[in-house]
Structure 1
Amino acid sequence: MDLFYPLKIFVDWLTYNLINLSKETVLGESINFFIYDSIKILILLIVIISVISYIRTYLSQERIRKILSKKNEFIGNIIASTIGIFTPFCSCSAIPLFIGFMEAGIPLGTTFSYLIAAPLINEIALAMLWGLFGWKIALIYLISGWLIATIVGFILDKLNLEKYVEESIYKMRIKQTKQKKKLQKERITESLEKTKAIILQIFPYILIGVGIGASIHGYAPENLLTQIAGKENWFAVPIAILIGIPLYSNAAGVIPIVSSLIEKGLPLGTALAFMMSVTALSLPEIIILKKILKPKLLIIYVSIVTMGIIFTGYLFNILI
């Protein structure tokens, strides 16, 4: 059962009856696409962000550090990747917590599992993927991102690369404060306030992204991308990643555009690789990390993450 079927009926009535646009025109189809996707994404964002924000009220920075500091090897990577789902959705905002983990003596690979997962598999991306592609694709993306974060972190753990972290990072000491226990009412209020703040922050990007997506949906020639970046073009995935790295965008801006590109023929694996490169390998993140990591470690980190994303892109192009 499609939970959004009533919304689709309403938007069809609004577009084709009240506004009186024709279903047969490109303009009518594009406007219908824009209204429907904007409302659907907004509903999913409100619900999912509210739930995640409530869970976050139990995950203070100090509590996360205590949990991870007691874990070693693969278990630590698994926990760090999972925690990444519930923490900041921007790669640059995840870096301060990443530094805190290193300062606390948490294994380097574990901290990298967190750094990869935090921007890659966040509630914004999952809500929008669910809204635009369905829950199965959202789940595939979640599992793929989680596996990349966990496995890459585990590999980095085994390479013993701590000597390539800038020494100044280990000399830092973040002041620890005792966390006041919150009442349920305070947790609910805090989660609703954070939900409101996040929605207000990202919704303009959603409207822009959906607007561009609607234009592509209505006006781009059919099968254009199949010819340029189809499954038969084996260079499509790495090219998509290279295009994505310089872009600094969040899921709110890029996913609606990619959704329309997929409808026009862009293979799913190529699309996922592009989205992952935008969120996990953004140029601003690399610039910030350059001040924390020595060049050799930074190159190794970027290379391994890139290989993981390329593998994911090819895998889904083959399977789907």
Structure 2
Amino acid sequence: MIDPFKFLADLLTIRLLGLDVTQSLGGALHFFIEDTAKIFFLLALIVFVIGLFRSMMSPERVRKLIGGKRRIVAYPAAVGLGAVTPFCSCSSIPLFIGFLEAGIPLGVTMSFLIASPMINEIAVIILASSIGLEFAVLYVVTGLTVGLIGGLLIDGMKLERYVEDYVWKIHMGEAALPEHPESWAERAAYAWGEVKSILKRLWLYVFIGIGIGAFLHGYVPQEFFTQYASADNPFAVPLAVLMGIPLYGSATSVIPVAEALLAKGVPVGTVLALMMSIAALSLPEVIMLKQVIKPQLIAIFVGILAVAFIFVGYGFNFIFS
């Protein structure tokens, strides 16, 4: 079966420019062209399909599905819905307020907020096509587990006192969530609007991610990663988590970097830890959360996730060693 993205990269790199893909420039450019075509095509297609789904799954409906459930049901529901409803940052604050106003425990709410940015179904599908189904499944299962455990820990520590006081006084009328379309024509228009909105928001970060991946693929020798990022280096995983925190990027934009790192022999656990740190612990997300929770809870939230990602990294490095 012909891979159209590889065919395009071969056509432009080898036939048109006459470059050798086994050399640094040719290999980097081939990687850049193939991944750019693949990721943007899949991104547009998947966002449109998911947009149709999201037009039927409004934030208000998510709130109702989780609200009123016993904890044993609420936690799996929260992480599951977080995985399939990747609401943007602008929706996170009214969702947070709405969940608490509906009587949903803080831990359940935090489970949703952990899972939603980290397990992005768009990224998962692109992960499966770019890197492999096994890695995509590992990413999803690990992300769900981290979301579940993180929420349970926050719930068990009874940290409601670290939610900003005004949040408890707000009624949903003051944090109204947008109504979603009903007819299929409106849903299609909504989905196309999602495609344009997400591409507009992500295109630069995707290009940056692909550029970094192409540079790593073409110019950084295998020996560098063997020396500094191998499973034998005990500091590789914590360093990957720390490097991910200040970086801003979606799970989608970091896929080309993960692809290049895996190709260079960086262990699976280290790559997973980096991806999750970038997706769930970016500084913009932390700044956004500061509007509704106090610094103490933010520190606990970041600490729990950072430790969880480090354990994930070490665990998978051990399993796959």
Q: What TM-score, normalized by structure 2, do the two folds share?
A: 0.90
- CA distance in 1: counterparts of 2:177 and 2:82, whole angstroms: 22
- CA distance in 2: counterparts of 1:138 and 1:23, whole angstroms: 27
**Residues 248-263 of structure 1 aligned to structure 2 (within 5 Å):** 248-263=248-263
Corresponding residue number in structure 1 for 2:39: 41
> CA, structure 1 residues 180+165, in 2 after alignment: closer, same or farther (shift >3 Å)?
closer
CA contact (8 A) 2:269 2:313 kept: yes
**Residues 214-293 of structure 1 aligned to structure 2 (within 5 Å):** 214-293=214-293
- CA distance in 1: counterparts of 2:309 and 2:226, whole angstroms: 21
Letter in structure 2 aligned against 1:54: L
Can you give the 5+ residue segments of structure 1 that lack an aligned partner in the other structure? none
Match of 1:104 among 102, 105, 109: 102
Deviation at 1:93, TM superposition (A): 5.1
CA contact (8 A) 1:88 1:94 kept: no
CA contact (8 A) 1:245 1:278 kept: yes
Match of 1:23 among 21, 24, 29: 21
Task: For residues 243-270 of structure 1, give each alpha carbon's deviation from its aligned partner in whole angstroms, at most 9, with x where no partner exists.
Answer: 2112222234333223222322321211
Greater alpha carbon shift after TM alignment, 232-241 vs 7-16: 7-16
Task: For residues 104-132 of structure 1, give each alpha carbon's deviation from its aligned partner in whole angstroms, at most 9, with x where no partner exists.
Answer: 32111110011101110113422432243
Greater alpha carbon shift after TM alignment, 279-288 vs 70-79: 279-288
Corresponding residue number in structure 2 for 1:203: 203
- CA distance in 2: counterparts of 1:271 and 1:89, whole angstroms: 25
Corresponding residue number in structure 1 for 2:317: 317
CA contact (8 A) 1:92 1:284 kept: no
SS at match of 2:107: helix
Corresponding residue number in structure 1 for 2:186: 186
- CA distance in 2: counterparts of 1:246 and 1:92, whole angstroms: 20
Deviation at 1:17, TM superposition (A): 1.4
Deviation at 1:89, TM superposition (A): 5.6
Greater alpha carbon shift after TM alignment, 113-122 vs 208-217: 208-217
Letter in structure 1 aligned against 2:298: L
CA contact (8 A) 1:45 1:127 kept: no
> CA, structure 1 residues 116+24, in 2 after alignment: closer, same or farther (shift >3 Å)?
closer
Aligned-pair Cα RMSD in Å: 2.3
- CA distance in 1: counterparts of 2:16 and 2:50, whole angstroms: 37
Letter in structure 1 aligned against 2:259: S
- CA distance in 2: counterparts of 1:316 and 1:41, whole angstroms: 26
SS at match of 1:223: helix
Q: Equivalent pairs: percent with the same residue?
A: 44
Task: For residues 33-75 of structure 1, give each alpha carbon's deviation from its aligned partner in whole angstroms, at most 9, with x where no partner exists.
Answer: 1111111112221232222211111122221111111212131
**Residues 131-146 of structure 1 aligned to structure 2 (within 5 Å):** 131-146=129-144
Letter in structure 1 aligned against 2:271: A
- CA distance in 1: counterparts of 2:216 and 2:118, whole angstroms: 25
CA contact (8 A) 2:250 2:278 kept: yes
CA contact (8 A) 1:65 1:104 kept: yes
Corresponding residue number in structure 1 for 2:164: 166
CA contact (8 A) 1:98 1:114 kept: no
CA contact (8 A) 1:269 1:317 kept: yes
Greater alpha carbon shift after TM alignment, 257-266 vs 104-113: 257-266
Greater alpha carbon shift after TM alignment, 275-284 vs 249-258: 249-258
SS at match of 1:298: helix
The count of residues paired between Structure 1 and Structure 2 equals 318
- CA distance in 1: counterparts of 2:4 and 2:296, whole angstroms: 54
Can you give the 5+ residue segments of structure 2 that lack an aligned partner in the other structure? none
- CA distance in 2: counterparts of 1:41 and 1:270, whole angstroms: 23
Task: For residues 149-191 of structure 1, give each alpha carbon's deviation from its aligned partner in whole angstroms, at most 9, with x where no partner exists.
Answer: 1222123223322223222111112215895760122212211
CA contact (8 A) 1:247 1:282 kept: yes
CA contact (8 A) 2:14 2:20 kept: yes
Letter in structure 1 aligned against 2:145: L
SS at match of 2:253: helix
Deviation at 1:214, TM superposition (A): 1.0
Q: Does 1:297 align with 2:297?
A: yes
> CA, structure 1 residues 268+181, in 2 after alignment: closer, same or farther (shift >3 Å)?
closer
> CA, structure 1 residues 49+240, in 2 after alignment: closer, same or farther (shift >3 Å)?
same
Deviation at 1:100, TM superposition (A): 2.3
Deviation at 1:231, TM superposition (A): 0.3
Deviation at 1:92, TM superposition (A): 6.6
- CA distance in 2: counterparts of 1:17 and 1:55, whole angstroms: 41
